Amino acid sequence: MGRPDGIDVSAYQGVIDWNAVKASGKQWLAARATVGSRRDTFLSANRAGMAGVRTRLFYDFLYPGHDASAFIASLGRLEPGEGAMLDAEASGISVADCLRWLGQVEAWSGRPAAVYTGAYVSGGTIWRSGAIFNGQRPRIFAAYTDQPNAARIATPYGWDAWQYTSTQACPGVRTLCDHDQVDVWQRFDACCQPVSPPPNQFPYDPWHHQYGLWPAANKEPLTLGTGYAPGTQRLQPMVTYFHHVAAFEAGQSPANPYSVFQAPSQTIVRNLNAFFNRDGKNQAQAIEAWAGVCGAETWRVIDFLASRPR
């Protein structure tokens, strides 16, 4: 039996009394965000209830061939104290699947992701991978046995946290659930704080790290063709960046961030052109369209662009 430092939950546990969980001393909490392309139906409630705990991880049960798009969309952004966790236990999952997911998530979040797996998943290739467990990502070991036997199986890698049972009771949780013993807290602290946050002078959005558009925002010429206002032509990377924010807040993932604009993102980019139109003929129409589609982060981008010399 391990030490009950934390728990791992999903929709299977139903409504959780998080105050009771916290009162029991749990300071490491993991909740499912997505399974494949589906959002966990209790994600919002669990996320709100977990607030204030030292380590709060949200995980994706990754299927072979899937990426992190649905997971990223389900969370929007990670707050301080929140981290991402890859649940790598599906049959047929590969090291390449894991590395693709980790690359996307860490670019989006700016912090290392934790990885949960077992010693025998996919013939042990996940557990033994030095590319996955690179010295920064916390290793969560699933082994439902006694601690000496778990340690033997984990040799020579060890673990940062050990999930030792899936059938233990916890105050505030109506059903039995996974319990975890945490042995390297500082590794989890690191994955729940941004390592490289976006510069303060730039708006933040979930695509910032993945596509790195802001560093080039004043260096690259426009390649969108003719018919665009001069201000838009000078700020092509900002237009592309703006497309990402608008698409994300409209619930989309950009199909091709550099050439293909999806609806309503295509309309947003056209309206951005109208915003830079010096005679202002289409500005009212542009603002009306933005108000109907965009969220708070998009408006931050609009405000930033409006302050640029035109």
pLDDT band at 268 (very low <50, low <70, confident <90, very high): low
Residue 160: burial class (beta carbons within 10 Å; 0-12, 13-18, 19+) = buried
Over range 88-109, report the average pLDDT.
92
Which has the minimum average pLDDT: 72-86, 111-125, 159-173, 205-219?
A: 205-219
pLDDT at 242: 58
Residue 4 scores a pLDDT above 50: yes
Over range 141-161, report the average pLDDT.
96
pLDDT at 273: 52
Which has the minimum average pLDDT: 183-197, 210-224, 265-279?
A: 210-224
Over range 162-184, report the average pLDDT.
96
What is the percent of the chain where pLDDT is above 90?
A: 54
Residue 182 scores a pLDDT above 50: yes
Residue 53 scores a pLDDT above 90: yes
Structural domains present in the chain: 6-191 (3.20.20.80), 208-306 (no CATH)
pLDDT band at 27 (very low <50, low <70, confident <90, very high): very high
